[in-house]
Amino acid sequence: MYVLKSFICNALVRHCCNVNALETHLAVRFKATCPVEVSHLDHLVLTVKSVPDTINFYTSVLGMEVVTFKGNRKALGFGKQKFNLHQLGKEFEPKAKRPTSGSADLCLITKTPLTAVAAHLKVCGVEIEEGPVQRSGAVGPITSLYFRDPDHNLIEVSNYNQSAPDGSS
């Protein structure tokens, strides 16, 4: 019986994750019976080669704030979220199965016009790899610039296009 339940659950998850498929009665029923409702992202962990270099980059280039918490650990705060920083080889437990610096691909929403962002990146000596380009954000179309942080993580800074709901970051 467990194998059958697992098969059905996996099939439903695969169906629900297909963004091109129309929701069926079964998928709606599955969503309604799931007791978990995720509301937002609190933090994510960036594994970095140098915590000081990462702090310098994200505070000077993206205006994030340094947050110090338990055990003199460091994070970068912005909005209602934060990036916890783990020094490569000195990660905190529990940790990712294979902590790796430079493997993140992050999209950050700003209300600052991208022309101003691009000018600031130039002043900071940060090379724009691509953009401005049109992309799809979580709640609507966005315009994005792409560049790299000191660990070579891909950073996408975006504006929601005017048709998106206000405060939809």
Query: So where are the chain's domains?
Result: 43-160
Residue 33 is predicted with a pLDDT of: 82
Residue 3 has pLDDT above 50, yes or no: no
Half-sphere exposure for 90 (CA within 13 Å, toward CB): 9
The helix/strand count (H/E) of the chain reads as 4, 8
For residues 32-62, b (16+ Cβ closer than 10 Å) or e, as one string?
A: eeeeeeeeeeeeebbbbeebeebbebbeebb
Task: Give the strand pairing for 73-78 and 81-87.
Answer: antiparallel
pLDDT over 90 at 13, yes or no:
no
- pLDDT number for residue 8: 52
Q: Which of these is catalytic: 37, 91, 130, 156? A: 156
Among 11-15, 43-47, 78-82, the range scoring the smallest mean pLDDT is: 11-15
Give yes or no: 156 in active site: yes
Distance CA 58, CA 119 (A): 16
Angle between helices 2-17 and 25-33 (to 10 degrees): 110
Tell me, what's the pLDDT at 165?
A: 55
Q: Which pLDDT does position 47 carry in this prediction?
A: 97
Which one is predicted more confidently, 23 or 146?
A: 146
CA distance 27 to 49: 43
Average pLDDT, the chain: 86
- Cross-strand pairs, 156: 107, 146
Eight-class DSSP state of 90: S
Q: Classify domain 43-160 by CATH architecture.
A: Roll (3.10)
Query: Which residue is it, tokens 């310098």?
Result: 56
Q: Which tens digits make up the pLDDT trace of 125-143?
A: 999 999 999 999 999 999 9
pLDDT reported for residue 168: 47
pLDDT at 116: 99
- The amino acid sitting at 106 is L
Look at residue 164 and give its three-state secondary structure.
coil
Distance CA 40, CA 47 (A): 21
